[in-house]
Amino acid sequence: AQSVTQLDSQVPVFEEAPVELRCNYSSSVSVYLFWYVQYPNQGLQLLLKYLSGSTLVKGINGFEAEFNKSQTSFHLRKPSVHISDTAEYFCAVSNQGYQKVTFGTGTKLQVIP
Amino acid sequence: DGGITQSPKYLFRKEGQNVTLSCEQNLNHDAMYWYRQDPGQGLRLIYYSQIVNDFQKGDIAEGYSVSREKKESFPLTVTSAQKNPTAFYLCASRGQDSYEQYFGPGTRLTVT
């Protein structure tokens, strides 16, 4: 079985400040990891994914994430946030067979002007 | 423009009625998924289908049914057996050999 924990349900941050959204996972097998973003009343959009290779993954809108196998983490970072980054962010994990994807409970990022 | 459409955006039903949510994709994707989203609970998998005429239960399939008669369509029926059907429902699809799910805009179902 696999699971995902997003430690913060809400993260307020001032505009142009850096942000880190935390994600930890558990799995008995090798995994693929994903971050998705959801704007209000919309579907989810993929920000970035880790499949293999470099542990630092760059995504859209200036976001990046680092895969840390020893700490089973995949934290999302952005060096300078904008008002338009206000949204809910979901971390997700799948096994490498990709039968199912398990999503975290989400972190709401609120960017304060 | 390729993508996934879900209709309607908002749906209201009386308790005890079955209701069917539409999901159509023109991405030529083999796999399709239905998720339920409730505040603070993330996305929970209801059903998924990896090929036409085949589908599997997800984590919370009780009270729901699906069909996959065509590659581009994966409708979800919320039956009267679903105890708490009010939620935001998201449909997604994935291409073969791809690890990205593409999501539709969602349907917000309210049952009173």
What tens digit of pLDDT does each residue of A94-112 get?
887 766 789 999 999 999 9
Taking the CB of residue B43, how many other CB atoms lie within 10 A of it?
25
Give the model confidence (pLDDT) of B49-81 as tens digits. 999 999 999 999 999 999 999 999 999 999 988
Q: Single out the residue of B47, B21, B32 nearest to residue B108, CA to CA.
A: B21
CA dihedral B60, B64, B67, B73 (to 10 degrees): -80
Give the model confidence (pLDDT) of A76-89 as tens digits. 999 999 999 999 99
pLDDT for residue B34: 97
How far apart CA A23 and CA A76 sit, in angstroms, is 8
Average pLDDT, chain B: 93
* pLDDT over 70 (residue B1): no
Confidence of residue B12 (pLDDT cuts 50, 70, 90): very high
* pLDDT over 90 (residue A66): yes
Cα distance between the two ends of chain A:
41
CB B57 within 8 A of CB B42: no
pLDDT for residue A98: 66
pLDDT for residue A95: 80
Chain A residue with minimal CA distance to B10?
Answer: A41
Q: What is the average per-residue pLDDT within A51-71?
A: 94
Q: Indicate if the alpha-carbon torsion angle A38, B107, B36, B75 is positive or negative.
A: negative
Q: Chain B residues contacting A, CB < 8 Å? A: 4, 35, 40-45, 48, 58, 90, 92, 99-101, 103-106, 108
Give the model confidence (pLDDT) of A9-45 as tens digits. 999 999 999 999 999 999 878 889 999 999 988 899 9
Residues of chain B with C-beta less than 8 angstroms from the C-beta of A90: 42-43
> How far off is chain A from B20, nearest CA to CA, in Å?
19
Q: Single out the residue of A59, A56, A78, A60 nearest to residue A68, CA to CA.
A: A56
Instruction: Decide if A101 and B42 are in contact by the 8 Å CB cutoff.
Output: no
